Structure 1
Amino acid sequence: MTELSDAALSAKAWPFEEAKKLVKRYAKKAPEKGHVLFETGYGPSGLPHIGTFGEVARTTMIRRAFELISDIPTKLLVFSDDMDGMRKVPENVPQQELLKQHLQEPLTVVPDPFGTHESFGHHNNAELRRFLDTFGFEYEFASATEYYKSGKMDDILLRAAERYDAIMKIMLASLREERQQTYSCFLPISPTTGRVLYVPMKDVNGKTGEITFEDEDGTDVTIPVTGGRVKLQWKPDFGARWAALDVDFEMYGKDHGPNTKIYDGICRALGGTAPEHMVYELFLDGEGQKISKSKGNGLTIDEWLTYASTESLALFMFQKPKTAKRLHWDVIPRAVDEYHQHLRAYPNQDAAQKLANPVWHIHNGNPPESDLVVPFSMLLNLASAASAHDKDAMWGFIRRYAPEATPETHPGLDAAAGHAVRYYEDKVAPFKTYRAATEQEAAALADLRGRLLAWTGAPEGEDEAEALQNVVYAVGKEHGFENLRDWFKAIYEVLLGASQGPRFGGFIALYGVAETAALIEKGLAGDLSTEG
């Protein structure tokens, strides 16, 4: 056993805590199917969002943790519930009127409003797979439509017909009286309209595997439950899928948490063993509302990747999965910088610390070295001060700060410079507000400008950025700022148009001493201020 795998047995990081449940599950006997099956579900009623990514990323982290402490092979199945009827038209897709004509039809029958795929369901499945492939996930994809129509679900559907009363007993106990009167775990596909029907059953024949119901034209119809003619309601479908596929682990959001007992009960009623689960907290948008596929609120995957790396998003997913988190633009810069902080710490950590470090989980135990010699937050402020519109302009400053760095030797830094320019132009510049300096602040800024103009370099043996930071501190103290935070806040608001900013000595070293002196002169003259 390696040092890391030995340390993993006592590791406290949440992926290892979840993985240990699976080790215990098969402590006496390995699974008959020959592997441990992890599953994630996706409802393609709308475009994939970051919450969807979160399930796959977090499940993968648990899977990799399990592989370090167990020799049992693993698989990850990403299951798309694409046979569901489209209950409402998502707000963030084109051709709304066209889609309204196809309500309640299976998603893999509804026309694709984007005109690129066989159906809306196929389009959203392709988007899901595209973004999963972007992140390099190892997975198998499964379509509910294909599973139902090909017969892969036939055995469990026939068993559901046989054990209909047991399933209904579980379901009816969870429903209001009014809903109980019309509920059935089976949803037939209308032979006449092709719509998914939410209708009561007139008869369920467990011996023949057939159901009888009233079709939309008012006639009674009897059809077999096999061959894709019938699907299961979403709660029974959870448990039935677990039983059919022998799923060992699935996580889901807090909104599903109260249904765990139902899912498990139906799985057992159908002869399966309920999987291990993990319930995570929901992601919220900037206003604190739950992210919704149909509304399209919150960040999309493509939006995050416009402004930051895939790894920074993976870090955001790793942190505190059982705590609700705002998924908004302003979390991106911190996620980037924190990711690189963890990368820099990793090489000097012992085995236990490495397994607690998010980058072990993000990179499957093999994290790269960080090449971000300039923090992302500082790159943002550089873009602001330099009025940079592309990363080439940023590199003119970066090379002076880190002469050894080039886009070729520091590809992560190069990408971050481009991300910073885009983030600044789209998410910072439109909201910047400069203000005029107070009398005290103006005197201090003028003093700082004078000292920068007289600067001849850091004393021998001292770091340039640290020496400049000491100059900034000294000016603040000498000009009577009792709380130096007020001094730095003034610098940021007058010179950068923001209430927060970078460690200013490092910013001066990056932007340039003479350039910072010129920036102060503009700020004091009011050339930066939106006030006039």
Structure 2
Amino acid sequence: MSRLRDAAQSSKAWPFEEARKLVARYKGKVPEKGYVLFETGYGPSGLPHIGTFGEVARTTMIRRAFEELCDIPTRLICFSDDVDGMRKVPDNVPDPVALREHLQKPLTSVPDPFGKYESFGHHNNAMLRRFLDTFGFQYEFISATEFYKSGQFDEILLRAAERYDALMKVMLASLREERQQTYSIFLPIHPETGRVLYVPMKHVDGEKGEITFDDEDGREWTLPVTGGNVKLQWKPDFGARWAALDVDFEMYGKDHSTNTPIYDRICEILGGKKPEHFVYELFLDENGEKISKSKGNGLTIDEWLTYASTESLSYYMYLKPKTAKRLSWDVIPKAVDEYHQQLRAYPDQTPEQQAANPVWHIHGGDVPASGMVVSFSLLLNLVSVARADDKATLWGFIRAYAPEAAPETHPDLDQAAGFAVRYFKDFVAPNLSYRAPSEAERAALEDLAAKLRGIAADGQVPAEYAAEFSALSEEVFMSVVRDTGKAHGFSSLRDWFKVLYEVLLGAEQGPRWGSFIALYGVAETVALIEKGLAGELR
């Protein structure tokens, strides 16, 4: 057993904790079907959002942890419920009015408003697969339309007809009395209109596998439950899918948690074994509201990837999955920098620490080295003071700071430099607000400029720091900044740093000043202070 596998056996990292439950499910032996099956479900009623990605990313992390713990083969299925009727027209599609006549039709029978695919369902499925492929996930895609029509679901549908009363008993117990009067686990698809009908059953023939019902015009119909003529209501569909595929693991959001006993019981009535579950907290937009596919609020995959790497998003998904998370622009820089901090820490960690490090779970153990010799947050500050319009401008400063770095040898840094320029223009620049210093603050800033001007002139460590430092470094610059603040009566260095941020950067917070001066340059920092004192920063 490898040292990391040994460490994983007791690791408290949540993917390993969940994976150990799956190992115990089969006592470490290969199940009859020959593999352990992970599943994620997707409702393609709107464009995929980051919450959808999060399910696949986190499930993949548990799958990787399971594969580290044992040698049982695994599969991951991404299942799209594209037979679901379109209950409302999404807000974020072209010409939404044109879709109204297709309400209640299965999503794969609704025209694609983007005009690119066979249907709206096919379009959204393609978007799902595109972003899953972007992240390199290993998965198999199943469309509910094909699953229902091809016969793969027939055995379970026929069993559902046979055990209709038992299934209805479970469902009716969870419904209000008014809803009980019209509820059925089966939703017929009208042979003429193609709409998904929410109508009560007049009769369910378990022997023949047929249902009889009246449509909305009062006409009676009898249809087989097989061949794509019906779909299951979404709660029974959850459990029926588990039984049909013999699913071993599925995670879902907290909004599903109260339905877990229903899903499990449906699965068991249909002859399946309930899977292991993991319930995660919901994703919120910048206003604290739940993100929604139909509303299109919160960040999209493409929006995150416009400003940061795929790995930074995977890192954000790893963190505290049972805590509600905001998906807004301001979380991106922190996620990028923390991800690279973990990359730098990984090589020197013990196996136990590596097993708990998010980057192991993001990369499946094949952890790359970080080339970010400059943090993303510091790059944003550099864009601001250098007034950079492209990453080439930033590289002029980066090469002076780290001569060994180059776009060819540090591609992650090169990519981040481009992201920083975009992020600054779109989110930082519009909110910059410079202020003039008070008289006491002005005196402190003038003193700091004088000290840095002296360093720039002779390139030497100031005499008062020579005993501690043999060469100029970030620590020297930080000491100069810190001691200047103390000398001018700032009892809290936080207050002094805030003055520097607000006067020189137009923000309430910013970089570690020693690192900033080392990157931007001593003479350049002096010039920045002089502009701030002159009120020339805008």
Bucket of the pairwise TM-score, normalised by the shorter protein: over 0.9
Tell me the residue number matched to 2:89. Answer: 89
**How far did residue 217 of structure 1 move?**
3.4
**How far did residue 29 of structure 1 move?**
4.6
Matches within 5 A, 1:416-455: 416-455=416-455
Tell me if structure 1 keeps the 8 A contact 2:40–2:78. Answer: yes
Q: Deviations over 1:4-57 (max 9, x none)?
A: 111111111000000011011000753111000000000000000000000000
Tell me the residue number matched to 1:526. Answer: 535
Within 2, Cα distance between the matches of 1:369 and 1:444?
41
Tell me the residue number matched to 1:265. Answer: 265
Tell me the residue number matched to 1:457. Answer: 459
Within 1, Cα distance between the matches of 2:367 and 2:349?
13
Within 2, Cα distance between the matches of 1:110 and 1:464?
63
Q: In structure 2, the residue corresponding to 1:141 is in which secondary structure?
A: strand
Within 1, Cα distance between the matches of 2:505 and 2:528?
9
Tell me if structure 2 keeps the 8 A contact 1:58–1:318. Answer: yes
Task: State the AA in 2 paired with 1:155.
Answer: E
Matched, 1:21 2:21: yes
Tell me if structure 1 keeps the 8 A contact 2:147–2:153. Answer: yes
Tell me if structure 2 keeps the 8 A contact 1:376–1:420. Answer: yes
Deviates more, 1:273-282 or 1:217-226: 217-226
Tell me if structure 2 keeps the 8 A contact 1:192–1:216. Answer: no
Tell me the residue number matched to 1:393. Answer: 393
Within 2, Cα distance between the matches of 1:15 and 1:98?
45
Percent of aligned pairs with the same residue?
A: 73
Cα pair distance change 1:28/1:335, threshold 3 Å? closer
Tell me if structure 2 keeps the 8 A contact 1:281–1:323. Answer: yes
Tell me if structure 2 keeps the 8 A contact 1:458–1:467. Answer: no
**RMSD between aligned residues:** 0.9
Tell me the residue number matched to 2:492. Answer: 483
Q: Deviations over 1:67-105 (max 9, x none)?
A: 011111000000000110000111111111111111000
Matches within 5 A, 1:173-188: 173-188=173-188
**How far did residue 216 of structure 1 move?**
3.2
Task: State the AA in 1 paired with 2:85.
Answer: G
Tell me the residue number matched to 2:480. Answer: 471
Within 2, Cα distance between the matches of 1:438 and 1:28?
69
Within 2, Cα distance between the matches of 1:235 and 1:414?
47
Within 1, Cα distance between the matches of 2:435 and 2:232?
61
Tell me the residue number matched to 1:47. Answer: 47
Q: In structure 2, the residue corresponding to 1:202 is in which secondary structure?
A: strand
Cα pair distance change 1:159/1:493, threshold 3 Å? same
Task: State the AA in 2 paired with 1:316.
Answer: Y
Q: In structure 1, the residue corresponding to 2:91 is in which secondary structure?
A: coil
Cα pair distance change 1:222/1:463, threshold 3 Å? farther
Tell me the residue number matched to 2:359. Answer: 359
Task: State the AA in 1 paired with 2:81.
Answer: D
**How far did residue 470 of structure 1 move?**
0.8
Within 2, Cα distance between the matches of 1:93 and 1:31?
44
Within 1, Cα distance between the matches of 2:26 and 2:471?
58
Within 2, Cα distance between the matches of 1:263 and 1:29?
26
**How far did residue 370 of structure 1 move?**
0.6
Tell me if structure 2 keeps the 8 A contact 1:193–1:216. Answer: no
**How far did residue 515 of structure 1 move?**
1.1
Tell me if structure 2 keeps the 8 A contact 1:46–1:294. Answer: yes
TM-score (norm 2): 0.97
Tell me if structure 2 keeps the 8 A contact 1:19–1:65. Answer: yes
Tell me the residue number matched to 1:230. Answer: 230
Tell me the residue number matched to 1:133. Answer: 133
Tell me if structure 1 keeps the 8 A contact 2:29–2:72. Answer: no
Within 1, Cα distance between the matches of 2:471 and 2:181?
79
Tell me the residue number matched to 2:324. Answer: 324
Tell me if structure 2 keeps the 8 A contact 1:190–1:216. Answer: no
Within 1, Cα distance between the matches of 2:491 and 2:41?
56
Structure 2 portions without partners, runs of 5+: 462-468
Matches within 5 A, 1:26-425: 26-27=26-27, 29-425=29-425
Within 2, Cα distance between the matches of 1:287 and 1:51?
16
Within 2, Cα distance between the matches of 1:154 and 1:472?
73
Q: Deviations over 1:477-531 (max 9, x none)?
A: 11110101100000000110100000011111111111111111111111115xx
**How far did residue 458 of structure 1 move?**
5.1
**How far did residue 344 of structure 1 move?**
0.5
Task: State the AA in 1 paired with 2:516.
Answer: F
Task: State the AA in 2 paired with 1:457.
Answer: G
Cα pair distance change 1:458/1:174, threshold 3 Å? farther
Q: In structure 2, the residue corresponding to 1:190 is in which secondary structure?
A: coil
Deviates more, 1:169-178 or 1:441-450: 441-450
Cα pair distance change 1:256/1:518, threshold 3 Å? same
Within 2, Cα distance between the matches of 1:201 and 1:56?
36
Q: In structure 1, the residue corresponding to 2:102 is in which secondary structure?
A: coil
**How far did residue 151 of structure 1 move?**
0.7
- Alignment equivalent of 1:501, drawn from 510, 513, 522: 510
Within 2, Cα distance between the matches of 1:179 and 1:464?
72
Within 2, Cα distance between the matches of 1:450 and 1:402?
26
Tell me the residue number matched to 2:465. Answer: none
Within 2, Cα distance between the matches of 1:223 and 1:269?
23
